[in-house]
Amino acid sequence: MILDQIPPGFKVNMLELRNIQKTYEGQLLLHGISFTVAPGETVCLLGPSGSGKSTLLRIIAGLENAEQGDIFWDGENIASIPVHQRRFGLMFQDYALFPHKSVRENIAFGLEMQKLPRTEIDQRVTTALTQVNLTGFESRRVTDLSGGEQQRVALARARAPDPRLLMFDEPLGALDRTLREHLGTELREILHKSGVPAIYVTHDQEEAFTIADTVMLLHDGHIVQSGAPDEVYSHPASGWVAEFLGLGNLLTGVVRRQAASQTVQTGVGTFSLKCGHAHHDGEQVHVLIRPAGASLGVEATGRSVRGSVTDILFHQSGFKVTLDNGLYFYLPAAPKIGERVAVQAGSVECLG
Amino acid sequence: MTRRALYWLAPSLFLLLFFFYPLVRVFLLSLKPDFGTLPTLAALPDFLNVLQFTFYQAFLSTLLTLLAGVPIAYLFSHFDFRGKPLLRALTAVPFMLPTMVVAAGFNALLGTRGWINLALMGAFNLSTPPITFVGTLTAILIAHVFYNTTIVIRLVGNSWAQLDPRLAHAARVLGADSTTVLRQITLPLLRPSLLAATLLVFLFDFTSFGVILLLGGAQFRTLEVEIYIQAMHFLNLPAAAVLSMIQLLCTLVFSIIYSRVVTHAVIPLNPRAASINIHPVRAIREKIFVFAASIFILVLFVLPMAALPARSVVRLEPDRGERGNFQPALTLNNYRELTINRLGSLFYVPPIDAVRNSLVYATITVVLSLILGFPAASALARPARLEKFIDPFLMLPLGASAVTLGLGYILTFNRWLYAPILVPLAHTTLALPFVIRSLQPALASIPQRLRDAAAVLGASPRQVWRSVDLPIIARAVTAAGVFAFTVSLGEFGATAMLARPEHPTMTTAISRFLSQPGGLNYGQAMAMATILLVVTTTAILMIEKIRLPGSGEF
């Protein structure tokens, strides 16, 4: 009935957070966080350590209470529902596998809590293990497993009871680089196939960009930007975002307005730039000069900078050339150290 | 190899002569009993009663100790509150207190001449004390709880503090309610430490001697007390030997189970910082719990030990023949009496001599056990095959009953039985494992790198020893020495068997004062027990202060 009244194209939200606030040891950790997760959507909460992203997960899971704000699931306020009745799955950092239980017993735990019949539990444990490529590991001790195997068991344990929402707290943090990339891709496939909405917390941007449908950047208790990965990448909302994501050379500049034209004055030169919204004369802005797509030589577009070369490093995407003013660029051909060059930057952007 | 063997020469010879040989004598005597002196068949049910009671009281005491200790372990491993370090320290003291001090303390609080009874008599004008404590099973059980709760707090508390809270959280998210978490996660993970604590407490309760003898009175006898009574009162050494062997067998079985539990029941955990579970007290429920637990600790651990010194300096009863209005008053009379050799007093010497004797014995024990323990600990610090083999033998005196050892000395050294040196020799045997265990980690902890660094910086071997080894060793040696000193001062089982009436020690003197009637004896028991309490507590605090972090306990 109600579904019929929903206009086509209207986004249904499974999870909705409204104005969540939390203090930790007297300091405001989360300031009025609000966001939604749609069915099948994977949201990545990305932020430096201490930004409160794990706490946010624990609040959603019900392990901690927010001081203010509400959590809705499918329109129903779930703030008063205790953790064990929320039917959410949470995969912990370092996995928190029960060391006194076998692989089978770990995965079966959530199913036993639902009081399912023995045969069904066994069957679902086997299925869960097959899904994570650990067939035959049932009776192994979890403490004998390698880090990657433990991670898979933790994933199987979190998924086995068919949670309505899956949450991941830095699930790959304890693994080495190669394994992390491999398991990250695998996780993305699993999440997309299952269609279960997911929230994924990490401080590693590559991981976030691999897995997320939507990336949310958490800074100082606020969500400072939220959007699809490519959107966030190409349009960072602030200097902090650009710096945190390591998008390139970040400078501070001052807006100079003269009649209809607007320029931004920085330590390495003056650029004629459009900023996101109108700025008055003398206002401070951030300027992002991306290192990729640069070339040697001057063109009359106001995107060039001059300097003498102080360092040249070979890099996969060309030569990383550093100038005496601190800027760096990726260039297809290397100049000489000490040479004075003019570099045509790929893009120069003004960030609010 | 030859140098290592040299290290072992003195300690091995000593233990062979003063520990193993006396026990062998007890063993041999128990094998070929003289049928004239052996308990007749008629006495058999009596012995079965003793055995039954030994198990019964140990079982009850262990149960109560767990009930008291587990909540306190939870308190210390989960909450941060004001006064916590002090409360923690208070719970650690009883374990090392001499039995005589504990017996005297409970007597001062709840005995017929104790604070509570005299207060009630005064308040309600009673002619007899309303509470009977000494001579009841309750007294034995409470004293055992007082003594051994520390073990539960330490063992269970440590593993609880390191338990990853996220395991419980993971279970909660997977749909478990809090009771299921307790049943399925917390208890199974604590099981090894709970089991170890249970067995250790049971072992101590099983072999308890002084508490039963002095607080249990005549009608309660455990194996250990019965051995003493058979040997000292009935002079029936063969019967005592048979009982000793039964007791030794039991303790051996418990020890084997204990070491199996310790090595096999361990669940590999990621060790976590011990502070991971600790948080400030917030919810009302938590506040009530912390408050109630703190009060419980103060009542159980502080009240008896505060009652003792207080009782020793307060006159609460009228003297014999004194009439009219009696007012309680402060007095040092009890202490003055210790220096007087009264006619009809228990000793032919002034009781203060017992203090001197105890100090002399303790000093001899310290010197002997350090001389013997140091080479053994140095060898154990860098163990080779020989050490792995010898180590368990060195620790055996820990599990042996002191009364049995005393019996062995009586059998072995009967010709020199009047020689006072036997007492410190027995004490050295009992203190040696403690000394070795506290020296060994310190000696093993000196990293070769430090010596190398000093040598590279230009220190000669002697300078290296003086600047690197000595400072570390000096602390360890002091701690071990104080440990031996405390063991000797408080030892009662072997001393009760070996000390002659004309050479009393503090523990035997307190024991006699307490078991004799009269206000004078009671007062002197209070005074002497207070002296022992002060000396021992000072020593314990000293050890805690100089103990190197991470060195072994028990």
Query: What does the pLDDT average to over A206-226?
Result: 91
Q: Which one, of B337, B321, B354, B312, lies nearest residue B508 by Cα? A: B354
Chain A residues in contact with B166 by the CB 8 A cut-off are 92, 94, 96
Tell me the longest C-alpha to C-alpha distance in chain A. 79
Q: How far apart are CA A285 and CA A270, in angstroms?
A: 13
Please tell me the number of Cα atoms within 13 Å of A215 on its side-chain side. Answer: 27
Burial of B306 (0-12, 13-18, 19+ CB in 10 A): middle
Q: How far apart are CA A224 and CA A30, in angstroms?
A: 12
- Tell me the two tokens of residue A285: 């802005």
Residue A61: closest C-alpha in chain B: B173
Q: Do A84 and B176 touch (CB under 8 A)?
A: yes
Instruction: Band the pLDDT of B274: cuts 50, 70, 90.
Output: low
Neighbouring C-beta atoms of residue A86, cutoff 10 Å: 22
Does ipTM surpass 0.95 in this model? no
pLDDT at A199 over 90: yes
pLDDT at B458 over 80: no
pLDDT at B67 over 90: yes
Q: Do A110 and B175 touch (CB under 8 A)?
A: yes
pLDDT at B553: 40
Q: Are A44 and A217 in contact (CB under 8 A)?
A: no
A99 in contact with chain B, both atoms CB, cutoff 8 A: yes
Query: What does the pLDDT average to over B37-56?
Result: 75
pLDDT at B239: 84
pLDDT at B520 over 90: no
pLDDT at A227: 93
What DSSP designation does A66 have? -
Nearest to A90 among B167, B173, B185 (CB): B173
Q: How far apart are CA A215 and CA A224, in angstroms?
A: 11
Annotate B300-330 with DSSP letters as a single string: IIIHHHHHHHHHHTEE-SPPTT--S----EE
Residue B175: closest C-alpha in chain A: A84
Kindly tell me the number of DSSP H helices and DSSP E strands found in chain B.
26, 4
- What is the Cα Rg of chain A in Å? 25
Q: What average pLDDT does the structure give for chain B? A: 84
> Taking CB atoms and an 8 Å cut-off, how many pairs form between chains A and B?
68
Entry pTM: 0.80
Tell me the pLDDT tens digit for each residue of B282-298. 888 999 999 999 999 99
A130-134, A197-201, B462-466: which has the minimum mean pLDDT?
B462-466
pLDDT at B552 over 60: no
Instruction: Band the pLDDT of B180: cuts 50, 70, 90.
Output: very high
Residue A102: closest C-alpha in chain B: B267
Q: Are A309 and A335 in contact (CB under 8 A)?
A: yes
Crossing angle of helices B137-161 and B187-206, in 10° steps, is 140
What DSSP designation does A11 have? P
A143 in contact with chain B, both atoms CB, cutoff 8 A: yes
Q: Are A72 and A18 in contact (CB under 8 A)?
A: yes
- Written as one letter, the residue type at A79 is A
- Tell me the two tokens of residue B109: 């609080």
- Tell me the two tokens of residue B458: 């230009």
| Percentage of chain B lying above the pLDDT 70 cut | 89
Instruction: Band the pLDDT of A9: cuts 50, 70, 90.
Output: very low
First to last CA, chain A: 45
pLDDT at B194 over 50: yes
- Written as one letter, the residue type at B200 is L
A102 in contact with chain B, both atoms CB, cutoff 8 A: no
Nearest to B167 among A82, A90, A98 (CB): A98
pLDDT at A326 over 80: yes
Distance of CA B233 to the CA centre of its chain: 25
Question: Which carries the bigger pLDDT value, residue B393 or residue B20?
Answer: B20
Q: What average pLDDT does the structure give for chain A? A: 86
A interface test, pick of B162, B163, B173 with most A CB neighbours within 10 Å: B173
Chain B residues in contact with A58 by the CB 8 A cut-off are 169
- Tell me the two tokens of residue A159: 């998924």
Q: Do A84 and B175 touch (CB under 8 A)?
A: yes
Q: Are B338 and B520 in contact (CB under 8 A)?
A: no
Task: Give the SS3 label for residue A278.
Answer: coil
pLDDT at B348: 59
Neighbouring C-beta atoms of residue A129, cutoff 10 Å: 21
First to last CA, chain B: 30
pLDDT at A165: 93
Query: What does the pLDDT average to over B144-150?
Result: 93
pLDDT at B253 over 90: no
Query: What does the pLDDT average to over A33-47?
Result: 92
Q: Are B197 and A109 in contact (CB under 8 A)?
A: no
pLDDT at B38 over 90: no
pLDDT at B554: 36
pLDDT at A42 over 90: yes
Nearest to A63 among B164, B172, B185 (CB): B172
Task: Give the SS3 label for residue B281.
Answer: coil
Chain A residues in contact with B188 by the CB 8 A cut-off are 100
pLDDT at A1: 39
Residue B177: closest C-alpha in chain A: A84
pLDDT at A186 over 90: no
Q: How far apart are CA B426 and CA B406, in angstroms?
A: 7
Tell me the pLDDT tens digit for each residue of B337-359. 777 766 555 555 678 888 889 99
Burial of B513 (0-12, 13-18, 19+ CB in 10 A): buried
pLDDT at A338: 87
Question: Which carries the bigger pLDDT value, residue B540 or residue B421?
Answer: B421
pLDDT at B423: 92
* Phi, psi angles (nearest 5°) of residue A105: -65, -35
- Tell me the two tokens of residue B68: 């008291």
Q: How far apart are CA B400 and CA B402, in angstroms?
A: 6
pLDDT at B58 over 90: yes
Chain A residues in contact with B80 by the CB 8 A cut-off are none
Query: What does the pLDDT average to over B266-283?
Result: 68
3-class secondary structure per residue, A123-179: HHHHHHHHHCCCCCCCCCEHHHCCHHHHHHHHHHHHHCCCCCEEEEECCCCCCCHHH
Burial of B82 (0-12, 13-18, 19+ CB in 10 A): exposed
Query: What does the pLDDT average to over B507-517?
Result: 86
pLDDT at B319 over 70: no
Residues 47 through 86 of chain A touching chain B, CB cutoff 8 Å: 58, 61-63, 82-86
pLDDT at B415 over 80: no
